[in-house]
């Protein structure tokens, strides 16, 4: 059990780091005046480069869900990983024009899977007020992102300028990085080992 938690924990931390790197490069896409830069968005190599971070993060999240498959909520991590991997693959391999709706729906799935995972695990935190508060707030922010991207996808909201797309995407990936760390802390193998050790010690007495 501890080994399984360690693998899942490590993969989620890696996912958070990769999400943070994607966020960093997305923010670099936009100048303070709102113009799109970063070695030019039009440069195909830039899109492929940052798409690889999304793909790697998606694979890590999917693997974490598979390693933790005995938990009834692990399929939500797998769903997040699949949607994130699909976004990464689209960034790397898509060559033609594409409306924003399919991309927006992938972001909606990513955000709602995080929210659902956090809310589904609230029951196990009855005696931990701080963690319950953290899970609740993080889930609420995820739902907010899902609604925002859904609105952008169906054109209820519009990006004000080309660079604002990168601002939203960068913000989402920054949030996802934090959310992955929050989830990883829930699966902390070191705390589980301590609890297991304490339980074993108590049973001996």
> What domains sit in the chain, N to C, each tagged with a CATH number?
2-196 (1.25.40)
Contacts of 24 (CB under 8 A, 6+ apart): 170
Q: State the Cα–Cα distance between residues 184 and 131, nearest whole angstrom.
A: 12
pLDDT in tens, 29-47: 755 454 444 444 444 567 7
pTM over 0.75: yes
Residue 189's pLDDT is 59
The pLDDT tens digits for 61-110 are 999 999 887 778 899 999 999 999 999 999 999 877 788 999 999 999 99
Whether 139 contacts 119, CB under 8 Å: yes
Q: Tens of pLDDT along 47-56?
A: 788 999 999 9
In terms of Cα–Cα distance, which of 73, 105, 114, 65 is closest to 87? 105
- What is the per-residue pLDDT across 162-195, written as a single tens digit (0 to 9) for each? 678 888 999 999 999 999 999 998 777 555 444 4
């Amino acid at each position: 059990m501890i080994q399984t938690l360690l693998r899942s924990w490590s993969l989620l931390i890696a996912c958070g780091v990769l999400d943070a790197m994607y966020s960093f490069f997305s923010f670099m896409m936009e100048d303070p005046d709102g113009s799109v830069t970063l070695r030019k968005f039009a440069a195909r190599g830039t899109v492929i480069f940052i798409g690889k971070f999304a793909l790697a993060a998606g694979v890590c999240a999917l693997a974490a869900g598979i390693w933790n498959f005995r938990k009834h909520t692990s399929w939500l991590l797998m769903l997040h990983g699949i949607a994130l991997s699909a976004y990464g693959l689209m960034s790397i391999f898509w060559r033609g024009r594409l409306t924003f709706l399919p991309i927006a729906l992938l972001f909606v799935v990513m955000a709602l899977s995080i929210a659902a995972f956090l809310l589904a695990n609230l029951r196990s935190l009855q005696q931990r007020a701080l963690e319950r508060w953290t899970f609740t707030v993080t889930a609420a922010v995820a739902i907010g992102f899902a609604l925002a991207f859904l609105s952008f996808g169906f054109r209820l909201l519009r990006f004000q300028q080309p660079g604002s797309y990168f601002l939203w995407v960068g913000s989402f990936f920054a949030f996802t990085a934090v959310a992955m760390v929050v989830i990883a802390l829930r699966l902390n193998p070191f705390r589980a080992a301590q609890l297991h050790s304490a339980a074993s010690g108590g049973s001996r007495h």
